[in-house]
Amino acid sequence: MAETEVATDSQPAAQEQNAPAAKSPDGLRRHVRELSERNRGLVNSFSKGLDDISRAKAARAELNERTTGLRREKAGIYSRLDALNAELDAARKSADALRKDSKSDFKTLSAQLERLEWKLQTESTNPAKEREISTAIRNLERELPAAAKLDELGKGISVKMGEKRQLLSRLDAVRRELDEAAGKANAEHEKVIKLAAKADSLRKTISAGMDELSKTIGEKDRALEASAQTRRQQREEEGRQRHRIEAEEKKLLGERMGQIRLQALEIGAKLKSGKKITLEEMQILASAEQ
């Protein structure tokens, strides 16, 4: 599982380097774009970190569930072993008691009894020998039930011992699996703690970055407003200057026209008196009539 690495120590220095040298609107716009891009990268890293935490928690939960199941199985094995040991102790005590009533095992006694019965039926012997064989048969028949029970107990003990060996083998396997699962669960837990610490550090960095972005946007807006205000003032001043020039030109034009009209009156009087006028004077008369 990939972990999200968060480098926070160098970020303040990087922020200082990214800060615009001049608080011009264009410089602030660039800084806003840089901060926005950086914050998007941080948010993406934070989101990936949360995904890593979720995966680590899921793995830890699965391993914890596994260890719980193994502990439950181990407890069940111990419980069954305790019961088996009690059953084996009881069976061994019963077998010890039965051995007092049977000097041989069931198979041996059965073979001896079968051989004596066959001998009694097939061989011709004297009465004393027959009585001896019959007595031996009766003695074997008295021992036979205890031997049969002892044989049954022996088979039961053998089955239980086989089950015990299987349980002990499984117990060893469960212990190994439990140690492995518990170790992995602890490793995932440590990973969750480490990732959570990194995510918290990244969250603080993002918060600081958002604050800086908000502050820079405010500075940009104020700079734009100041620039717009300056342009408005420049346009107003240009308008006032233009009006002053136009008024001055109008005034000068009025004065000039007044002079032309006076000259035109003089030239008109001259013309009426029959005197000749020059081309320039004719132009003055024409200008006065406009």
Inside any domain, residue 36: yes
Distance, CA of 99 to chain centre: 69
> Quick check: 144 and 165 in contact, CB under 8 A?
no
Q: What is the pLDDT of residue 279?
A: 81
Q: Exposure pattern of 6-15 as b/e (b: 16+ CB <10 Å)?
A: beeeebeeeb
Q: Which CATH number is 111's domain given? A: 1.10.287
Write down the pLDDT at residue 83. Answer: 94
Containing domain of residue 66, as a range?
Answer: 23-238
Judge whether 209 lies within some domain.
yes
Q: How far apart are the C-alpha atoms of 88 and 47, rounded to whole Å?
A: 61
Q: Is 136 inside a domain boundary? A: yes
Q: Is residue 282 part of a domain?
A: no
User: pLDDT tens, position by position, for the chain (290 residues)?
Assistant: 334 343 444 444 344 444 444 477 777 778 788 888 888 888 888 888 889 899 999 999 999 999 999 999 999 999 999 999 999 998 888 877 777 755 656 667 677 767 777 777 777 667 777 777 777 777 766 767 777 787 788 888 899 999 999 999 999 999 999 999 999 999 999 989 998 998 888 888 888 888 888 888 888 888 888 888 888 888 988 889 989 988 888 888 777 777 877 877 887 787 788 777 778 877 777 776 66
Q: Name the residue with tokens 């005034």.
A: 251
Q: What is the pLDDT of residue 256?
A: 79
Q: In whole angstroms, what is the distance from residue 76 CA to residue 82 CA?
A: 10
N residues, the chain? 290
**What pLDDT sits at residue 159?**
92
Question: Which two three-digit tokens encode residue 35?
Answer: 């901060």
Q: How far is 77 from 18, CA to CA, in rounded Å?
A: 66
End-to-end CA gap in the chain: 95
Query: What pLDDT shows up at residue 5?
Result: 40
Question: 76 with 225: CB under 8 angstroms?
Answer: no
**Count of domains observed in the chain:** 1
Domain membership flag for residue 79: yes
Give domain status of residue 256, yes or no.
Answer: no
Report the pLDDT value the prediction gives residue 104, as an integer from 0 to 100: 58
pLDDT of residue 16: 43
265 domain-assigned: no
Q: How confident is the model at residue 54, as a pLDDT?
A: 92
Give the predicted TM-score (pTM) of the model: 0.50
Biggest CA–CA distance in the chain, Å, is: 210
Q: Evaluate whether 101 touches 146 at the Cβ level (below 8 Å).
A: yes
Asked if residue 100 is part of any domain, the answer here is yes
